[in-house]
Amino acid sequence: MNHFYYNNNVLFCEGVPVADIAAAVGTPFYLYSTETLTRHFRAFDGAFTLPHLTCFAVKSCSNIALLHLFGTLGGGADIVSGGELYRALKAGIDPRKIVYSGVGKSEAEMRFALEAKILMLNVESHQELQALQNVAAALGVTAPVSFRVNPDVDPKTHAYISTGLAKNKFGIPIQDALDSYLAARQMKNIEIVGVSCHIGSQLTDVSPFVESLQKVRCFTERLKEAGIHISCLDLGGGVGIRYKNEQPPLPAAYATALEQEMHGLDCTLILEPGRVIVGNAGILVTRVLYTKQGGKKFVIVDAGMNDLARPSLYDAFHAIQPVVRRGQEVEVADVVGPICESGDFLSRGKEVPLCAQGDLLAVMSAGAYGFSMSSNYNSRPRVAEVLVKGDSFHLIRRRETYEDLVAGEMIP
Ligand SMILES: *Cc1c(COP(=O)(O)O)cnc(C)c1O
């Protein structure tokens, strides 16, 4: 359920015609709906009845306006870098609701996190634990730690976004993790608070989540036998969304399946959803520059793979819809950007609305891993981001300028 809909063949976001925003801010731009973001956050967070904390995965969509919104709804943040910590704090997220994931935290990033007094750092290797102990000792503080275990569960998703298989770089193999906890217990500046895992993204079935929770649960029992008690069980993110005809679990089904496995566990459940909250709450709006018939039909638009990388990177599908619908006619065409790579496409070999030069198109389901993965490749300024609320819209990130492109550069 989202708040992008047609009224008299004109695409609206909540109460605002998308074409009006394009006229005001130019194209391309990302457009988010406050109402949809709020609804998705509440549906997810509200599905859980046991003590829990919903830490929005900042990497999926990092604009501080969105982080601020989730903060006001009671959310925390799952961060994977010092930059994301900076954003979360800037957005007013309570540091006691911030968890820090990632295999490669630098010492400077650890220092920043400890000084900010975040809830916990999810440690992924013995060397990282040692580094954290050193940083904490130098600061004279105790580092709250959870280990990210790798449960070796197949999430049945795209290989690039599978993270919980033994062959993936993430976490500590669950069968070796007890040693990490025993080592941590001996460290003066480490406080053990939890156990975490995250098995992948865009999962459309609850069973891999349940399987990994069962494995983690068994593991907490072994910890208990060793005299180690944890207060946080972090299950990561990964719930999928509908891009085309996937059937991802509803929040209620997901929450119920997990809570059944949580019985008798005296832990706060931490969740790190990203895509499921923002994916269908955002679109990318682009304009048709030219159309041409080569070996096939091409629709050349002003947004490229630097603006939305998912089609090129994962061969991901995004529905393309007209901003003003003139008819029902469709044609098979490649919708491509201006970048000098053949991999620069938003849609390839699929039916798209029949369109003409100057038309506006909406690339749907682009809220997650859209703007946050965008780059300046081909020296293209990054696009604007706009947030609609009711009948009004707000620029939440201005389009970059040419000066922005070279702002940090120097000629020696
Ligand atoms: C990417 C990531 C998430 C969010 O994943 P989604 O599929 O967007 O829900 C959560 N936790 C960790 C550790 C991640 O790396």
How high is the pLDDT of residue 170?
Answer: 87
Indicate if the pLDDT at residue 164 is higher than 80.
no
Residues listed for the chain: 412
How many Å apart are CA 84 and CA 66, to the nearest integer?
13
How many Å apart are CA 324 and CA 226, to the nearest integer?
64
* Active-site hit among 55, 61, 267, 340: 340
Residue spans of the domains in the chain: they are 4-32+279-406, 34-276
Task: Choose between 342 and 188: higher pLDDT.
Answer: 188
Mean pLDDT, the chain, whole residue set: 96
Q: What is the pTM of this model?
A: 0.97
Q: Contact 265/213 with Cβ under 8 angstroms?
A: no
How high is the pLDDT of residue 160?
Answer: 78
Q: Contact 112/143 with Cβ under 8 angstroms?
A: no
Q: Residues with Cβ < 8 Å from 305, sequence gap 6 or more?
A: 311, 312, 337, 339, 341, 343, 344, 345, 377
340 is a catalytic site residue:
yes
Q: Residues with Cβ < 8 Å from 389, sequence gap 6 or more?
A: 14, 34, 35
Tell me the residue ranges of DSSP E strands in 302-383: 320-322, 330-336, 345-353, 360-363
DSSP-derived pairing of the beta strands 172-173 and 190-196 = unpaired
Q: Cis bond leading into 311, ω under 30°? A: no
Per-residue tokens: 2: 């989202």
Per-residue tokens: 369: 């891993």
Q: Contact 399/382 with Cβ under 8 angstroms?
A: yes
Tell me which of 70, 122, 201 to substitute to probe ligand 1's pocket, judged by most ligand atoms within 8 Å of the beta carbon. 201
The per-residue pLDDT for range 344-381, each reduced to its tens digit, is 999 999 999 999 999 999 999 999 999 999 999 999 99
Tell me which of 45, 58, 78 to substitute to probe ligand 1's pocket, judged by most ligand atoms within 8 Å of the beta carbon. 78
CATH number of 4-32+279-406: 2.40.37.10
Q: Contact 76/44 with Cβ under 8 angstroms?
A: no
How many Å apart are CA 226 and CA 192, to the nearest integer?
13
Superfamily of domain 34-276: Alanine racemase (3.20.20.10)
The ligand 1 site (C-beta within 6 Å) comprises 57, 59-60, 78, 101, 198, 201, 236-239, 272-276, 368
The per-residue pLDDT for range 110-123, each reduced to its tens digit, is 999 999 999 999 99
State CA 173 to chain mean position distance.
24
Q: What is the mean pLDDT of residues 93-102?
A: 98
The per-residue pLDDT for range 168-202, each reduced to its tens digit, is 888 899 999 999 999 999 999 999 999 999 999 99
